Amino acid sequence: GVMCANDVAAAEGLEEIVVTAQRREENLQKVPISITAFSADAIAQRGINGMGDIVSIVPNMNGFDSPDKRGSVSVSLRGVSSGSTNISFDPANAMYIDGVYLGKTLGSALDVAEIERIEVLRGPQGTLYGRNSTGGAVNFISKRPSGEFGGKLTASVGNHNLRSARVYLDLPALGVENEGAGTLSASIGAQLRKRDALYENRNRARDDFDNLDRRAGRLALLWQLRENIAVDYSYDTSKIDEYQSLQYPVGVTPVNLAGVSRVTALDGYLSAANAALNSSAGPLAAAAAADPTFGRWYGSVQQARSALAGLGSEARPGHGASDVDGYATSKGDGHSLIAKWDLEDVAVFGDVTLKSISGYRTVEQKVLTDLDGFDNSIDPATGVGFVNDSTLGALYQLYAGQANPLFGSAMRARTATVWNAADRFGVGYAVGMANVDYTQWSEELQMIGSAGQIDYVLGLYWFKDEGKTRGLAAYAAPVGGIGARNFDNETSAKAAFAQLTWRPATFEDRLALTLGARRTVEEKKVTYLFADAGNPLAPPPSVPVFDGVPVPTAVYGTRGSRSFSNNSGMINAAYQLTDDINVFAKYSTGYRSGGFNGDVFGNSFDEETIEQYEIGAKSDWWDQRLRLNVALFRYTYDDQQLAKINVDPDTGRTSTSIMNGGLAKRWGGELELVVVPVEDLLLGINYGYIHGDFDRFAPTCGSTACIDADRLAKRPNSAGNQFSLTVDYTFAHLDFGDLKGHLAAYWQDKSYTSALTTGTFTNNATHTASVVAYDATVLDERTLVNARLSLDRIAIGQGTMMVALWGKNIFNQDYNTMVINFATLGPITQLYGEPRTYGLDVTYEF
């Protein structure tokens, strides 16, 4: 780990940073863990407002905003990706706010009022951080009330009509120290951020894309009963109310195994229609003459062909399209209560700190997303629109069937049924809606102590959560049917852990041997509440249906339950070669919970595990003006939970299933360098590298053959190389303030958004299924440059003011942050990172 820019006293060298990664306050350079820490100054300098702003800064850390759930960030550390933000999945990288674990990634990017420090721990943290920290952990530490009157006010404006305000107030303490009820201190904070949409909607009847409308608040209380007894309470609230993210179509997959394009298939429909209309010939002649909906279909085929033929540009668009008013809203509320009691000389236990950390959080999230990025609106005057080609193909078969005199009238009735369903449910490729309610409760008891040459942490942990998801999915509407993906899920977990560090006296406290272990037991439950509006081409079922297929027993109300247990551990040997050089070797394991996939009925999956070996060195040189930290690691990632997009070849219904079957052996390293070459100048260099995809990947099979996925699967959401350079320079110390500059450049090479995407094609004549592997979905190489120029410490009244000009992505680099291949359904869409943004911050601190 290494400190970040601005944490420097330029004349004296690099400052010491204190972190709590091992549950006790320690010098960052003495902690034998790969960790990157951001101070409050570094957070402000980089414009960090949440998890999404960190992922490109930390070596071997990647991440992306959920395609449909704005404010939910999925994180990857050292190639271990958290994956989907669906609440029936657990993240692979733990996130904590003031010691309280966030059970899901919902709302994890919501703005926070006042953060004092951020700590990013890389590698399995199974002992102290427990389940779901196979890749690492991220700690957000909020500022505690000081008991003295003070505050900070910040106002910001920027392009795209950005408006932001942040307020933080520290209130004077009440009471008398160490007397009576002690003292009570309080602080309050609030933030509001708004910005207009980045992309217009070509369908002016619908909302635009990618605006900002976020607010957050926090109340903190500190009751200092005695010098050694303190109780911290905090309440935080966050809210997002925004348009959906732009999902821009850049291509479509072939329509069959032979690679025939969808445009070519539509050309075939048009050729047959023209023959029927102009010469009363061909398979569609009867329908053209007698079916009143034929002209509507013909016009819709023309629109679909025009839209699909125009795809191909992957440059950042200036606009997008949708046929629904997409939105992403969420509200999160959290309570935490931390009680701490410091005791001295407690028999054999030595100096002891007893701590209780209680947490309660709720998140409500509502999203409606046009996932395909097309405007599939139907003109109410003509009935014509861009209809998805699956529906157009089904209608072609119905029109062709009207040539048979025995079935002509029946086929005409069915075409009318399809068009009626189209007017009711739409004709898009993919539209999804979900309302999610999530509640979690946790309690952790810690005993932290030092006795002679031994430091120790003992703990007990309890966790419980409940989630409710109510969603609708329309794929290839209306012939794909409309499905309700409703489910309830629940987790109950408990754990006991211990970590002991021994510093033998014979080595003069330079050698530290650490052993840690954790036992976890948990239970997962799910209740499926699926329903189906049916397929207009299928007869009404006489029994309950699931995904349009009659089943003997309804899945509505079907329950599942599974239990899991795990033993995680850690062994660490650290040696202080000199006062400024610390080396360590570490073995650690991690565990990610199994469970049930609420999106797919009956899809349960097992836990995944990771086993990692790591060596590292932390060092200060040149009178503490140069800091160099390095780490090398190698891990085996077993029974990896793999996400797979499934598309029903008959209905177009899309779902994401989870399976175990991945084995990955990977290795890599990180380098973090900070140097003060001359007074007032600080340079920082970070580099991360990781090698390896999959050694084993679960095969995808058709009726007669399987795809050898071992050689095709890619490591998802993890760039092989990452590099960053930061420069901080104080240009002048003026009588009225300090003129400072900050420049940061981040580069990463290409990566992949999913391990493997496959499709299934059904041969109706032979009733066999064949599978195909699509080209990997690639995130492009990118270089992003941010800059900031500030005038600090301007004395005004009883405080100081700072004025700063800033820019992000100042060279306006086009880059994608997510690619989704909908396989046999057709669309391939991209999400984009923000274009160039710039603005002005004014801060007054007193």
Cβ–Cβ under 8 Å, residues 458 and 445: no
| For range 156-182, the mean pLDDT | 96
Smallest CA-to-CA distance from 534 within 469, 598, 478, 486 is with 478
Q: For residue 5, what pLDDT is reported?
A: 42
Amino acid identity of 524?
A: K
| For range 405-420, the mean pLDDT | 92
Rounded Cα gap, residues 111 and 115, in angstroms: 10
- Indicate whether 145 and 293 sit together in one domain: no
Residue 638 has pLDDT above 90, yes or no: yes
Q: For residue 546, what pLDDT is reported?
A: 36
Residue 651 has pLDDT above 80, yes or no: no
Domain-located, residue 768: no
Q: For residue 551, what pLDDT is reported?
A: 38
Q: For residue 344, what pLDDT is reported?
A: 95
Q: For residue 722, what pLDDT is reported?
A: 97
Task: Give Cβ neighbours of residue 413 (< 8 Å, ≥ 6 apart).
Answer: none
Q: For residue 310, what pLDDT is reported?
A: 85
- Indicate whether 397 and 499 sit together in one domain: no
Domain's final residue, options 424, 446, 468:
424
Confidence of residue 590 (pLDDT cuts 50, 70, 90): very high
Cβ–Cβ under 8 Å, residues 200 and 232: no
Residue 466 has pLDDT above 70, yes or no: yes
pLDDT tens digit sequence for 413-453: 999 999 999 998 899 999 989 999 999 999 999 999 999 99
More confident residue, 658 or 352: 352
Q: For residue 405, what pLDDT is reported?
A: 87
Residue 530 has pLDDT above 90, yes or no: no
Residue 554 has pLDDT above 50, yes or no: no
- Indicate whether 414 and 521 sit together in one domain: no
Confidence of residue 540 (pLDDT cuts 50, 70, 90): very low
Rounded Cα gap, residues 492 and 476, in angstroms: 38
Q: Cis omega (within 30 of 0) on the bond before 478? A: yes
Rounded Cα gap, residues 11 and 680, in angstroms: 7
Confidence of residue 535 (pLDDT cuts 50, 70, 90): low
DSSP state string for 71-114: T-EEEEETTEE-----TTS--SEEEEETTEE-SSSTTTT---S-
| For range 112-130, the mean pLDDT | 87
Residue 108 has pLDDT above 70, yes or no: no
- Indicate whether 406 and 504 sit together in one domain: no
- Indicate whether 395 and 531 sit together in one domain: no
Confidence of residue 548 (pLDDT cuts 50, 70, 90): very low
Domain-located, residue 382: no
- Which of 40-54, 242-256, 503-517 is predicted least confidently? 40-54
Confidence of residue 227 (pLDDT cuts 50, 70, 90): very high
Domain-located, residue 342: yes
Residue 657 has pLDDT above 90, yes or no: no
Cβ–Cβ under 8 Å, residues 379 and 385: yes
Smallest CA-to-CA distance from 824 within 310, 256, 247 is with 256
- Indicate whether 197 and 302 sit together in one domain: no
- Indicate whether 686 and 704 sit together in one domain: yes
- Indicate whether 548 and 665 sit together in one domain: yes
Residue 35's CATH number: 2.40.170.20
Q: What is the number of structural domains in the chain? A: 2
Q: For residue 709, what pLDDT is reported?
A: 84
Smallest CA-to-CA distance from 599 within 543, 661, 652, 546 is with 546
Count CB-CB contacts under 10 A for residue 261. Answer: 16
Average confidence score pLDDT of the chain: 89
| For range 90-96, the mean pLDDT | 91
Domain-located, residue 3: no
pLDDT tens digit sequence for 681-727: 999 999 999 999 999 988 877 766 788 888 888 999 999 999 999 99
| For range 196-214, the mean pLDDT | 94
Q: For residue 112, what pLDDT is reported?
A: 63
- Indicate whether 358 and 284 sit together in one domain: no
Task: Give Cβ neighbours of residue 493 (< 8 Å, ≥ 6 apart).
Answer: 131, 461, 462, 463, 464, 520, 521, 522, 523, 593
Domain-located, residue 289: yes
pTM surpassing 0.85? Answer: yes
| For range 254-273, the mean pLDDT | 92
Q: For residue 234, what pLDDT is reported?
A: 96
Residue 212 has pLDDT above 90, yes or no: yes
| For range 368-373, the mean pLDDT | 92
Amino acid identity of 119?
A: E
User: Is the four-CA dihedral 546, 547, 550, 552 of positive or negative sign?
Assistant: negative
| For range 357-361, the mean pLDDT | 97
450: exposed, middle or buried (Cβ count in 10 Å: 0-12, 13-18, 19+): middle
- Indicate whether 525 and 492 sit together in one domain: yes
Radius of gyration of the chain (CA): 29
Confidence of residue 200 (pLDDT cuts 50, 70, 90): very high
Domain-located, residue 547: yes
Task: Give Cβ neighbours of residue 765 (< 8 Å, ≥ 6 apart).
Answer: none
Rounded Cα gap, residues 113 and 128, in angstroms: 27
Residue 796 has pLDDT above 70, yes or no: yes
Rounded Cα gap, residues 42 and 256, in angstroms: 53
Cβ–Cβ under 8 Å, residues 88 and 596: yes
Smallest CA-to-CA distance from 598 within 439, 483, 492, 487 is with 487
Range of the domain at 795: 8-246+322-372+427-763+778-845
Domain-located, residue 771: no
pLDDT tens digit sequence for 42-55: 888 888 877 778 88
Residue 226 has pLDDT above 70, yes or no: yes
Domain-located, residue 111: yes
| For range 349-356, the mean pLDDT | 97
- Indicate whether 196 and 308 sit together in one domain: no
- Indicate whether 810 and 745 sit together in one domain: yes
Domain's final residue, options 424, 442, 467:
424
Give the tokens for residue 217. 């608040």
